[in-house]
Amino acid sequence: MQTLVIIDPGLYEVGGHHAALLYTMAAKKQKKTVDITIYSSFHVANELNEFASSKDLKIKPWFKSNFYQHFEDNPNFKSAKLNSFIRGLALEFKSAILDALERKATAGDVTFWYPCVNWEHANALSLALSQLADSQQSVDCACKHKVCSMFMSQKPEHKLSNLPYETAFRRLTKFLNVELFASDWELREYLERLGIKVCGIHPCYLLPWSSLKSGKEKYINAENSSRTFLLYMGDAKENKGFTLLPALIKSLSAYYSNNVKFVVQYTMTWSSPELALTEQQLNKLAEQVESFELHKAFWSVGELIHILSSTNLIFCTYEASAYHFKSSGLAWLASFFNIPVVLRGESWLTREFTRLRHPFEVSPTLTYSTQLLEKTISQTTEYRRSLFLEPIDWLYKN
């Protein structure tokens, strides 16, 4: 039996891509017999723990480090707190690896998968692997460590901004049993420009793709034949345009009356006065606007598929500046389900849609042409296929 150890210190809350990975692993009907253990945050939500148990997935609450504690920090600022974080996370990586290996008689059958890594996490992991080698606990060298990079410098034109990525990932990829993968085309190009060896693109793990019907085959909703517009999905954040939603709903509902259903889904993780006020306004609109559907909890795989399969248009309210060099799973979900998108401005998303040959329009006022609703994807690319591979099949393809 194959043993897969998923090291995901960011698995904590019921929302975002970390929880989506858990749901995807649970929904996938495995062709291979794989024993899966997930090392999560020590404070992982009870709901996720209970869900995993119901699906015969093992979660080991392990990491006490706040995985994203220094994500927004200036990487050029070598603070004592940042260095302390890296050392602490390295010890937790090391202990998780040893714990997994101690439960397995032969280490050669173990694949370690790190689904989301930034430069500070890469530093910590390389330090952990170095400590294992230095202390002659080198049994891990027979294992594979598959590392997925998801982020890049937000100022790639500045050499100093790139330095932490260059040094951290170069150090990590020197280990012979480490394979580094990028989450998207631009990130792979970025890392390779820094002289870092990248083994390829890792699949998007937001959904179990092979278990779904083709993105072009819409599910038929007999109860409602009207159009559905998805206005928001994911964590409530100001830079994702959450505070724009009340005005957008009022405008669209006045124009379309009840001919279009408007859907908003969000999880409130980090509240602020502005977000709290928006949430109050959305609750009132949900009572006043018959065609407005409000979801205030994380969607399961089945719920996400049901909504996206009947969605005709997605409004991407993200601030273009915040996502100029930042990827988003929204691009891949829209592409798979063949849903055209209207965006506020040019960003990574518009460049990714162009690479995927996916229909979109850019409008600061979030208006769109009627032709957009009728556009379809005309060509499947190799890049597109790589994004929608099954994670398990991808992990064990070699």
CATH, residue 239: 3.40.50.2000
pLDDT of 270: 80
Residue 159, helix vs strand vs coil = helix
* Residue 393 covered by a domain: no
Q: What percentage of residues in the chain have a pLDDT greater than 70?
A: 90
pLDDT of 229: 97
Question: 77 pLDDT exceeds 70?
Answer: no
Mean predicted lDDT score pLDDT of the chain = 89
* Residue 395 covered by a domain: no
pTM for the full predicted model: 0.91
* Residue 140 covered by a domain: yes
* 174 and 300 fall within a common domain: no
End-to-end CA distance of the chain: 16
- CA 241: distance to chain centroid? 18
Question: 125 pLDDT exceeds 80?
Answer: yes
In degrees, rounded to 5, the angle at the alpha carbon of residue 11 between the alpha carbons of residues 134 and 212 is: 115
Residue 276, helix vs strand vs coil = helix
Last residue of a domain, one of 166, 183, 202: 202
Range of the domain at 84: 2-202
| Length of the chain in terms of residues written | 398
* 48 and 105 fall within a common domain: yes
pLDDT-derived band at 214, boundaries 50, 70, 90:
very low
Q: How many domains is the chain partitioned into structurally?
A: 2
* 173 and 225 fall within a common domain: no
Helix (H) or strand (E) holding 57: none
* 260 and 288 fall within a common domain: yes
- Distance, in Å, from the CA atom of 70 to the CA atom of 234, rounded to the nearest integer, reads 22
pLDDT-derived band at 142, boundaries 50, 70, 90:
low
List all residues 6 or more positions away from 93 whose beta carbon is below 8 Å from its beta carbon.
7, 124, 125, 127, 128
* 30 and 157 fall within a common domain: yes
Question: 278 pLDDT exceeds 90?
Answer: yes
Last residue of a domain, one of 157, 184, 202: 202
